[in-house]
Amino acid sequence: MSAPWQKNGYEAVIGLEIHVQLATNSKLFCSCANQFGDEPNTNVCMVCLAHPGAMPVANAEAIRQATRVGVALGCRIPETSEFSRKQYFYPDSPKAYQISQYDQPMCAEGLFRVPGEGGFDVRLTRAHLEEDAAKMIHAGGEGGRISGSAGSIVDFNRVGTPLLEIVSEPDIRSPEDARRFLTLLRATVVAIGASDCDMEKGSLRADANVSIRPIGSTEYGTKTELKNMNSFRFLERGIEAELERQLEVVLGGGSIEQETLHFDPVAGTLSSLRSKEQAHDYRYFPEPDLLPVHQTEAGLVELGSDLPELPAARFDRLVAAGLTEPTALALAVDADLARYLDAVATDTGDLKTSANWTMGEFSAHLNGAGLSANQSPVTPERLAALIALVVDGTINQTAAKEVFGVLVEDPQATAAGVVVDRNLAQVGGDDALGEIIDAVLAAHPEEVEAFKGGREQVIGFLVGQCMKQSGGRADAKALQGLLRARLNG
Amino acid sequence: MSAERIELGPDEVRHVATLARLGLDDAEVERLAGELETILGHVATISALPIADVPPTAHSLDVAGALREDVAKPGVTREQALANAPDPSVDGFRVPPIGS
Amino acid sequence: MAAIDVIGLTAERAAAMLRAGECSSEELAGAYLERIEAFDPALHAYLHVDPELTLAAARTQDQSGNVGLAGVPIAYKDLLSTKGVPTTAGSKILEGFIPLEDADVVARGNAAGLVSLGKTNLDEFAMGSSTEHSAYGPTRNPWDQTRVPGGSSGGSAAVVAAGLAPWSLGTDTGGSIRQPAAFCGLVGLMPTYGTVSRFGVVAFACSLEQVGPMTLTVRDCALLQQVIAGGSERDATCVGLREPIVLPEPGRLDGVRFGVPWAELEDGVDPGIRERFDASLKLATELGAELVDVELPYARHGLAAYYVIAPAEASANLSRFDGVRYGLRVDGPDLRSMYEATRSAGFGPEVKRRIMIGTYALSAGYHDAYYVQAQRVRTLIRRDFDAAFLGVDAILLPTAPTTAFPMGARMDDPLAMYANDIFTLPVNLAGIPALSIPNGLVEGLPSGLQIIGAAHTENTLLRFGAAFEQAIGFDPVPPTLRGGAA
């Protein structure tokens, strides 16, 4: 792992509770559409409004996706799972109970590997299905916050959306590791198509349980819960801030109170949402309106074999193929880009060069244009053709970048065609270069003297002049070699 | 049917009432305490039965769950949704402030 | 045209009359509506009647030509959602509530062409055994108006017994169809759990209840069960019938083995009820059946288990009544006071009692001792029945330990009220079917015989019921009606 957070003899103990909104067509227990952004209360029905006589019927696809996530994260999938009623009164919960899973969740314990040199394992406690709550729009009050408001309006569009709650053991030892763990977990869920995991839209939510303890201790300190951090950066900063706060309290002789906190990323401050001392009595019992879910050995095997390459495995594969860890990681968490690279590398037969181009020029172009890899006009075949021309020496790097620019602008252009059209073929061959060298050396006698006098660095200037003469098309390496030979000879 | 002696103090009754969001006045708390003591006294007889290794029944049926195909269907209109609302706003259900 | 005499008119006969063109659905519905107007004020069996709506529906059936059961009137317990028609569940908290959809059973009734006469009275949220816990006032027993009709489907029973509907639907969680059927001299069926859809039925205790018919005859019961039973996409616990319901023909009972749990009858049964029960047993042997002693040792713990499980589920099911989306709201300065004021004002004392018991039984510290333990007892009761059915075709018991008691007699003693269900609620706990048929009168009040079967043996129960019915020859029309009055 990255350097663990350790200060004044204390270490960080961090666990994450992650909610993933599954990408199904319909809600978990009714047939309303599972979609975002509708006008309030236009995506509802008798069931998700909890009218008298309404009954839930479980979405088969949600169960399938939840199982796939469990398998992808390395969880054991029990043969039977049950739905439970989790009871509490709040306007965002129309039945005054949430249908969740209590003692027989969809996915049981697992081990999630963050790979690489600084890699580490995080034990997963469980993952279970539950329905999302409604949205409350707080009227009045400052910035839409609850306290000081003049009541609220409830929008039930979101209620009943399928969520998978993934709980980790407190195995994480630094805010950075929390971010790395979440990044890789997110990439895994996205890779299998179970969710788009967009923190801004709320289809990925992460809460952190944070505590500190003396280094070497095996007991756990009192933990606080950090909620509603809606970006990876805020997660990391929020955990950092909370660790500092707890340290300050403890060093000052105080004790940590169990509470729920909110991190304000703008101000960088933590505030208490509610005290967890009055823990809810959820009065869980098995949901009588839903029958248990059964998994078969055969079904699970099929699900498992059907999964695409997962990020951790991709990372291992790319590192083994010779890419650096940072490159491998960037590709591991971006499935589209990784697929793109695979296609290019298969074509060119040169993974390293293909990776350099993919992570370099191509990624810059994607970022600038706001495109994903499969939306770019520069298809793997077109890039591969360009790379081939660089590798075989037809063009140099500078020219290649120019060609790339044209490939972006003009979807019809081919690399070879552009090279011809713009006369970008590298100036190479001893004769052509020899002529240029002659001209430059003749024009700069002082520099020649300087070089012969021991100031070898002027060769850079001379190379530059030669490049200018060649219109930027000279093969720089060959040039350097020839120049040196001439100057020394 | 034999009965057990169950004692419910007013605090406990109030606690249960709070869990259930039932507002009870003092007279009701006292009355309910007595009634619940009597009823619970009878139902508590099962607590003593030596049946700890009998699996509890959660469902009468011995079948696996009936599942629904993942197809989105139209529900009700907003107008219909708000038709029975005690305090509708233009587009939603109004509720009082959360308070303490 | 002479007014149609609907007193004692079975649905089967009414359907035949309609098909033969002897009368129209509009005339038939009109005849019931006249009687409702004249006699329901005293009985208070209906909560909601809309004559215009009924007659319009009847006319529609007439226009389509009355085939099958089309055009036959019916009454629905006000626990069943009816689209566009108020549904109160007998509670103030749902006063004025208009459902967005029909319950599945109502939709099936509509598809069969049945014409709704209205919504019948019930104990609030089906919690009770006398209909005295209705927030809208009690219903009177047509056999003796100083007495209760039973509950919670008291209104559904009274309308059929009083000739205010040919048949009706009730719901049964611990005996709420069978016991009022017994008190009112009717046939009532508690179907096998999971054979009739609960979608749109205001939930009391999900794992225990079913919708079922309340009728004048066993054949009518089978006819109505054919309409309502079957799988549903909107109820995950409704897996439907294993075999279609068959209309029974009366006959003998040769070779039939009836189990009788004599140990359960030792005390708590009125002498008159016991006498009628013994007479039924004798009749059974005369019809060729054999009587076998069976033991149901855990059945006597059924009451305790039931009064943990049912209130526990109910406490959760009734939490949705919070003044936010529908129903009564009593305002408060903040959310919690609104919740508490609304639910306090909206629920009656029996409902509050059960919510409290249920919440207590599920709360931290008591969950295992009460709720889980009760579910273990339930397993044992089911095993008792399963074992008994290995050796017998059906089990016989009185439906209720007494006849209809006077109004007010048990209101001060919840446990005495609960004791009404000692013979019926083990059936719900086990999820098996049971048929109640009248087996005579005790001092002028009807007594009921309960025939209990293994899961999915409705056809067997109906056949047995038809045999008893023919042999007993009970007249389901109260003498007062024969005299021309209500």
The residue written with tokens 């306007």 in the block is A91
pTM of this prediction? 0.91
Please name the chains neighbouring A, where neighbouring means 3+ C-beta pairs under 8 angstroms: B, C
A431 interfaces chain B, CB cutoff of 8 Å: no
Any idea what the CATH number is for the domain that residue C130 is in?
3.90.1300.10
Q: Is B98 on the interface with C (CB under 8 A)?
A: yes
Q: Which of C92, C193, C237, C319 to mutate to test binding with chain A, by most A CBs within 10 Å of its CB?
A: C319
Whose CA is closest to C215, among C114, C284, C84, C83? C114
- pLDDT, residue C1, reads 47
| Interchain CB contact of A27 with C (< 8 Å) | no
Cβ <8 Å between C307 and B51 = no
DSSP annotation of A256 reads: P
pLDDT of residue A142: 45
Contact C301/B36, CB-based, under 8 Å? Answer: no
Closest partner residue to A154 (CB to CB) among B21, B71, B95 is B95
Q: What is the distance in angstroms between the CA of the first residue and the CA of the last residue of chain B?
A: 45
Q: C8 at the B interface (CB within 8 A)?
A: no
| Edge-to-edge strands, sheet with A84-87 | A97-100, A84-87, A285-286
The verdict on C216 and C357 lying in the same domain is no
| Joined tokens for residue C265 | 């009858």
Token digits for C150?
A: 């039973």
pLDDT of C251:
95
Q: pLDDT-based confidence at B1, cuts 50/70/90?
A: very low
pLDDT at A5: 96
- Count of all residues that appear for chain C in the document: 486
Q: What is the domain range of residue C366?
A: 299-376
Asked if residues C471 and C287 have their Cβ atoms less than 8 Å apart, the reply is: yes
Strand, coil or helix: A154: strand
Handedness of CA A175, A177, A183, A186 (dihedral sign): negative
On whether residue C310 sits in a domain, the answer given is yes
Burial of A402: CB neighbours in 10 Å, binned 0-12, 13-18, 19+: middle
Helix (H, G, I), strand (E, B), or coil: what is residue A122? strand
C353 interaction partners in chain B (CB closer than 8 Å): 32, 35-36, 39
Residue A381, by phi and psi: left (phi above 0), alpha (psi -120 to 50) or beta? alpha
Tokens 């799972």 belong to A81
| Angle, helix C25-43 to helix C11-19, in steps of 10 degrees | 150
Whole-angstrom distance, CA of residue C381 vs CA of residue C388: 11
The residue to which tokens 């006319």 are assigned: C59
Q: Which B residues 1-30 touch C at CB under 8 Å?
A: 1, 13, 16-17, 19-24, 28
**Which residues numbered 2-61 in C keep a CB inside 8 Å of some CB on A?**
none
CATH of domain A430-488: 1.10.10.410
- Which amino acid does the sequence have at C273? I
State the pLDDT confidence band at A392, using cuts at 50, 70 and 90. confident
Fold entry, domain B10-47: Histone, subunit A (1.10.20)
A75 touches chain C (CB under 8 A): no
> Residue C115 forms beta bridges with which residues?
C73
Structural domain includes residue C417: no
Instruction: Please give the Cα distance from C384 to C378 (Å, whole number).
Output: 10
pLDDT category, A274, cuts 50, 70, 90? low
How far apart, in Å, are the Cα atoms of C283 and each of A221, C289, C401, C439? Answer: 75, 9, 20, 10
User: Dihedral of CA C327/C331/C332/C333: which sign?
Assistant: positive
- Do C38 and C82 contact (CB within 8 A), yes or no? no
Confidence of residue A278 (pLDDT cuts 50, 70, 90): low
Q: Which residue out of B16, B19, B67 would a mutagenesis test of the A interface target, given it has the greatest number of A Cβ atoms within 10 Å?
A: B67
Q: Residue B70 in contact with residue A62, Cβ under 8 Å?
A: yes
Active-site pick, C24, C116, C134, C152: C152
Q: Report the pLDDT value the prediction gives residue A439, as an integer from 0 to 100.
A: 87
Which of the residues C25, C77, C197, C447 is marked catalytic? C77
At A80, give phi and psi (nearest 5°).
-125, 140
Q: What's the pLDDT at A143?
A: 47
pLDDT per position as a tens digit, A16-40: 999 999 999 999 999 999 998 899 9
Interface predicted TM-score of the whole assembly (ipTM), two decimals: 0.95
**How many domains, chain C?**
2
Q: Residue C202: inside a domain, yes or no?
A: yes
Edge-to-edge, what's the strand order for the sheet holding A135-138? A135-138, A152-155, B93-95
Q: Which of C97, C233, C321 sits opposite A57 (nearest CB)?
A: C233
Burial of C123 (0-12, 13-18, 19+ CB in 10 A): buried
pLDDT at A328 over 60: yes
Question: Do C110 and C38 reside in the same domain of the chain?
Answer: yes
Reported as type and span, the H/E element at residue A364 is helix A363-369
CB pairs under 8 A between A and C: 95
The secondary structure of residue A360, as a DSSP letter, is: I
The Cα–Cα gap between C152 and C225 comes to 20
Known catalytic membership, residue C197:
no
Q: Is C423 a member of any domain? A: no
Average pLDDT over residues A210-231: 93
Q: Is C327 inside a domain boundary?
A: yes
Q: Compute the mean pLDDT over every residue in chain A, rounded to the nearest whole number.
A: 91
Instruction: Report how far residue C25's alpha carbon sits from residue C68's, in angstroms, rounded to the nearest whole number.
Output: 13
Q: Are residues C24 and C113 in the same domain?
A: yes
Question: Could you tell me the two tokens for B63?
Answer: 């079948």
- With CA atoms as reference, the chain A residue closest to B76 would be A45
Angstrom distance (rounded) from CA B17 to CA C399: 35
Residues of chain B neighbouring A26 (CB-CB closer than 8 A) = 68, 70-73
CB atoms C103 and A53 under 8 Å? yes
Q: Which residues contact A143 (CB under 8 A, 6 or more apart)?
A: none
Write the DSSP string, A209-221.
EEEEEETT--S--
pLDDT, greater one: C187 or B41: C187
**Residue-level pLDDT, tens digit, chain C, 486 residues:** 457 999 999 999 999 999 999 999 999 999 999 999 999 999 999 999 999 999 999 999 999 988 999 999 999 999 999 999 999 999 999 999 999 999 999 999 999 999 999 999 999 999 999 999 999 999 999 999 999 999 999 999 999 999 999 999 999 999 999 999 999 999 999 999 999 999 999 999 999 999 999 999 999 999 999 999 999 999 999 988 999 999 999 899 999 999 999 998 988 899 999 999 999 999 999 999 999 999 999 999 999 999 999 999 999 999 999 999 999 999 999 999 999 999 999 999 999 999 999 999 999 889 988 999 999 999 999 999 999 999 999 999 999 999 999 999 999 888 888 988 999 999 999 999 999 999 999 999 999 999 999 999 999 999 999 999 999 999 999 998 875 554
Q: Tell me how far apart the alpha carbons of residues A40 and A450 are, in angstroms, rounded to a whole number.
A: 78
Distance CA(C113)–CA(C73), nearest Å, equals 9
Q: Which amino acid is at C287?
A: L
Chain A CB contacts of B97 below 8 Å = 149-152
Does position A59 have pLDDT exceeding 80, yes or no? yes
Determine the straight-line distance between the first and last CA of chain C, rounded to whole angstroms.
Answer: 22
Q: Residue B77: pLDDT above 80?
A: yes
Q: Is C119 a catalytic residue?
A: no
Q: Where are the domains of chain B?
A: 10-47
CB spacing of B97 vs C335 below 8 angstroms: yes
In angstroms, the CA C256 to CA C259 distance is 10
Peptide bond into C152 cis (omega under 30): yes
Same domain assignment for residues C57 and C204: yes
pLDDT of A438 strictly over 90: no
Our answer to whether residue C92 is catalytic in this structure is no
Residue A155 and residue A147: Cα distance in Å, rounded?
19
Residues C232 and C313 in one domain: no
Q: Nearest residue of A to residue B99 by CA position?
A: A147
Q: In which residue are the tokens 């308070």 written? A: B99
pLDDT in tens, A151-168: 899 999 999 999 999 999
Residues of chain A in contact with residue B76, where contact means CB-CB under 8 angstroms, are 44-46, 49
Say if residue A231's pLDDT is above 50. Answer: yes
Q: How far is CA C43 from CA C29, C75, C114, C216, in A?
A: 19, 15, 24, 18
Angstrom distance (rounded) from CA C264 to CA C60:
51
Give the model's confidence band at A144: pLDDT under 50 very low, under 70 low, under 90 confident, else very high: very low
